[in-house]
């Protein structure tokens, strides 16, 4: 069966589909010994020989893992400034895996990593509306009106957010802080922080505890676990 070249490259764990498109346009990909530099080129996934920068890209087993990302680590496979990245925390994994979506430098919690580019793109794409659950420790004690605003949508500089689920789970009047459990399905840059700031409660600490049906559970910071075959199947079923 023939598939678009960038889709096959992403599925084989080379990079995200967008990055693979850039590799093709840069003339760094060859199929059966001939350079391909046009998008839309299709290949036979079973029989064609594909190379990137002279290296043969063969099929690799898919790997799916859940990492408890700590704060202070970049959600990237590399960093030009030499800062610690999430791939540094999974160096014992033989296959090259990449983060699915993004958590800010100062945000901790559940981060999926995989070399299955096609599934990664679907998980990260906002049109599939996968719930992301955060625990946000904020300054001040949010009023019911502030929570109502979060639930109905907040006007940010890049537009109104979709309605969210917002629940006050803990408050400490002595420290003048509270914890909000916030569920969103968008993926805008620093969205939860901006939403809380917009209702007058800047975030002190932020942690993602759930993505879809997957929960962080007792996984400690810097630790990871492989997803079970049942969890992977359930993820795939979300997009069928």
CA distance 210 to 203: 18
Please report the pLDDT score of residue 135 as a whole number: 98
Q: Which of 104, 106, 116, 131 is catalytic?
A: 104
Please report the pLDDT score of residue 88 as a whole number: 94
**2-56 classified as CATH 3.40.640.10:** no
Delimit the domains of the chain by residue range: 2-56, 64-125, 128-211
- Please tell me the pTM assigned to this model: 0.80
Q: Provide block-wise average pLDDT over 10 residues at a time, the chain (240 residues).
A: 87 82 95 93 90 88 95 91 93 90 95 89 82 97 97 95 96 96 92 97 98 95 96 89
Please report the pLDDT score of residue 105 as a whole number: 95
Please report the pLDDT score of residue 46 as a whole number: 83
Please report the pLDDT score of residue 121 as a whole number: 83
Please report the pLDDT score of residue 33 as a whole number: 93
Please report the pLDDT score of residue 198 as a whole number: 97
Please report the pLDDT score of residue 100 as a whole number: 92
Active site residue 104: yes
State the angle between helix axes of 117-124 and 17-25 in degrees (0 to 180), rounded to the nearest 10.
Answer: 120
**64-125 classified as CATH 2.40.50.100:** no
Q: Do domains 2-56 and 128-211 have the same CATH topology?
A: no
CATH code of the region 128-211: 3.30.70.1560
Tokens standing for residue 121: 């793109």
Residues 6+ apart with CB under 8 A from 136: 179, 180, 181, 182, 192, 193, 196, 203, 205, 206
Residues 6+ apart with CB under 8 A from 200: 140, 146
């Amino acid at each position: 069966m023939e598939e678009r070249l960038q889709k096959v490259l992403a599925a084989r764990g080379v990079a995200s589909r967008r990055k693979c498109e850039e590799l093709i346009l840069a003339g760094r990909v060859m199929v059966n010994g001939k350079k391909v530099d046009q998008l839309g080129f299709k290949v036979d996934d079973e029989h064609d020989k594909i190379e990137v920068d002279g290296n043969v890209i063969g099929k690799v087993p898919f790997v799916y893992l859940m990492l408890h990302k700590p704060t202070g680590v970049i959600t990237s496979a590399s960093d030009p400034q030499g800062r610690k990245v999430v791939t540094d925390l999974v160096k014992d994994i033989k296959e090259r895996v990449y983060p699915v979506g993004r958590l800010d430098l100062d945000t901790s919690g559940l981060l999926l990593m995989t070399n299955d580019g096609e599934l990664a793109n679907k998980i990260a794409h906002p049109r599939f509306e996968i719930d992301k659950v955060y625990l946000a420790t904020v300054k001040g004690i949010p009023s019911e009106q502030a929570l109502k605003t979060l639930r109905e949508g907040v006007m940010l500089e890049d537009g109104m957010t979709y309605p969210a689920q917002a629940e006050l789970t803990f408050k400490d009047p002595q420290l003048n802080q509270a914890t909000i459990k916030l569920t969103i399905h968008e993926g805008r840059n620093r969205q939860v922080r901006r939403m809380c700031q917009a209702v007058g409660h800047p975030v002190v600490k932020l942690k993602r505890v759930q993505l879809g049906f997957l929960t962080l559970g007792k996984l400690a910071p810097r630790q990871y676990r492989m997803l079970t075959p049942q969890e992977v199947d359930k993820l795939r079923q979300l997009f069928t």
